[in-house]
Structure 1
Amino acid sequence: MNKLRQKWYTISIRSKVILLAGAVLAALWTLVAMVMIQLHSFSGQSAIIMEEYMDITGFMDAFSAENVCLEAFVRQIQPPEAREDYLAAIQETDQLLRELRPHQRTDRQGEYALKRAISNAMEHYRASQSVLLSIEETDEMIAPYLSLRSQAAYIDGYSRDLLHGRMVQGGGQWREITASNSRSGQRFALILALDTALMALALLIFTHSILKPLTDLGRAADEISRGCYDAPPLAVHGDDEIGRTAHSFNLMQTEIRKTIHALEQQAEMEKSLLEKEVEAARMHRRLQERRFAQLQSQINPHFLFNTLNTIAALAREESAPLSEELILRLSSFFRYSLESDEKLVPLGREIQLLRDYMELQETRYGDRITMEIHADPSLNSVVVPKLILQPLVENSILHGLRTRGGGGQIRIRTYRGRRGVTVMVSDNGCGFDPRRMRPESGRHRSIGLDNIRERMELSGGRLDIFSRPGLGTAVRITIKEEGEA
């Protein structure tokens, strides 16, 4: 047994697969051949029985149809085609009678006698029929017709007796066929069980001698890929392709392990030098960060605010109230956007920032662009992310209304809707197709919109854009209040 197993491991994988597949296919084809032989035998026996049934019933049906045509032929008023139909029926009956002729060597004794009786009776019947066909007067056909009816009754009785005997004999043959099929089914079940056992054995051999070594090789390769180089070597069972591959894999694993150990020793030697360099780089970076923070702290935003206030005071002395108002609003706008470190602000402050911004824009555009604000005062204390409304109004002016000759209108509305606190910013500008928005397009998609959308999503809200070319654009901001799920 050990010699056979060792011999098995020395042959190639191709030869193993061919041998196993050949054994399985031989068992399957043996079973299929036996089934086909049994089916062919059953089909042949069934065909013989059915052919005999069809010969008898065919003759009986043709003879019955002939008698029907005879009745139409002897009527006082004959149909025009009665004679032709009768002659055709006679030919059909004669043809089927020839197929029913007796065979002394193949027919059983009772069947042979009945077939001989039918043949003799039909000879007398045809002789009487010739007399009938030779008569031209309908009145003279009565006596021959009655004689034919009497003979037909005898022939019909012989045919029924022959059919009954055939059915009795066929029943016995069917019982023999059924018993034979039952015995064959038992043999097939036994052979199928043996084939199943053979296929299971072949699958077990294939799994143990081919799949398992391949699985072990793949598992060892996975261990190598995960950095585990100290795994035990693979077992080599033979000199086939898998055995040679496992042997080469063991050599490769040994070489990799030696190389890794050498690299680890070298890395330990270089580690101290690298740590010193990293510490020096870290100290240099900290020094640069401190210097940058020091320079940044010297930039005081109040310098800008104080300068704007100085210019506003100068405008007041020079009696330029409009310039003073614009400078003060600009100073307030800068103070709000630059000085405050808050990330969340009341909605009322955002609305006030819009008013300051539009004061500046109306100075530039005049009556060409107007803004309407319908804000619910009860929502002014709702907390929102800072600077979410001014970029939307700025986009409406730059991308939707600036090219209009006049009549540009921006509407801002705050209300508490079904979705929560909602802010709608809409314009009657040129609009666009939202489906054609692209991240790289600078015309209808800006950093401001992306920034607002991201901040709204982080705070639990959302931003939706609705636009149609030629009809304007609307942006809906939904705000999640504290305490909402």
Structure 2
Amino acid sequence: MKKRIKLWWQELTIQKKIAVFTGMVCLTILLSVVFNVWVVRFSLVDFNGILQDNAKCSELIQALEKESTLFESYMRNPDAEKKEELDRAMKRTKNAVYDLPFQYRKVGELRYAKTWSIRSSYEVYCTKRDAILSMEDNVTDYVSRLYEVYDMQKYLGQYAGILMNCTIEEGDISYQKKVPTLVSVPMVVIFAGLLLLFGIAEMASLMKETIMSPIFKLVRASQKIAANDFFIEDVKVDNKDELGELVHAFNKMKYATGEYIQALEEKRKTLDLLHEEELEKLETEKRLEMTKLELLKSQINPHFLFNTLNVIGGMACLEEAATTEKMIRALSALFRYNLKNQETEVCLSQELKIVEDYMYLQQMRFGERISYQKICRVDADKVIVPAFTFQPLVENAIIHGLSKKEEGGTVRIHIWQQGEFIFITIGDDGLGMDDELLMHLRRELAKEDGKTGIGLGNIYRRIHAMYQDGNVEVYSRKDAGTVIKIQIRHKEVGEEDVPCVGGGR
């Protein structure tokens, strides 16, 4: 039975469970109230009825005795005061007579008969009493009628006494019948209280098992999930109500969240591996670029070249050819810088010196057709820039922009600092490029294997590889010129182990 009730309880919704529990509590309170009312009625109302019946009979006896005494006194010595007292006593007696219980079902056959006899006799008595009170004492049968009234008063008193005895006997019998019930009331109260208490305790236990226990299990599981432990055992409950659905949804959500977190963790590890591979790839590309550069350097025998240039320079000095000697010295410095410098970053002053040597040679070649302007708004002996950057861009400006222009032009270098960045522009006022060619060049630069020539493409890739926020931009307009703008983070000597030997030509 208990198992069947438990199964029925588990299938109820939470709202119905609360309604059933509330109904049980209300029913318990209602039964307690009804039982208390019954006990009060049984112990007080019924006994009060017996006492009231006895009191009414006693009141009738007293009223008759009082009236008989006053009647006799008045008849012996009548006066107005005694008459007034007698009238009050007669009224009291009348009220007492008609106040007697006269319901057959309530008083029973015997008491009903006695009460009826009293009422009938009282009416006859009242007629004869009133007649005597209105008679003169000299009437012939006055005395006989007076004693007849006295006899009726005794008769009514005897009947009232008999009714009193019957009422007391019936009350005693009724009391004796109720005594066992009254004795058993405490036991009934205790038993009913224990039964109701047990029922409420069982209901509370079911409420705890089907409502509070699942909630506690969910709280403990949530605490473990808050500690990033998603792969705990599923919360198990037998409920088929809203809490059962909630627990089922919680288990599904826990599993799905755990799988999602695990997938994110695996994705993060994969991204870390890809990042490491990308870094290794960049490092490999950097080493490859250095290898290519070294290969280009090795294509010329440095010792043979330097020795030959020194011999030519010495002969030019012997022949007093100062210009030739100067050109040879500039060319020798240019080759020495390109072939013997192993650093990736150098002082700005070194790059500017190489550009000046290169421009000297180009001016000797093109004469007044080529001019050179430099605006440097930073300390060239302190600022660090990427090596082999300026001279290739200046060479591109002359070859592609100015040499093909009949009237020549000017190469301009502008260097300034803005915030944490150094900006370098190398521009010319040569032939320039149309929009289509410019866009094609920009697209090729953005590609890893773009076809842009060794100089500009190499510089573009080196700037982006060396500086996280470095940038190279190309601007050009047909018949107006071309500008290469470089953005690098500001560095000074001392921040990096970079040798810096300044000096101009």
User: TM-score, normalised to structure 2's length?
Assistant: 0.41
Q: Which has the higher contact order (CA 8 A, sep 6+)?
A: 2
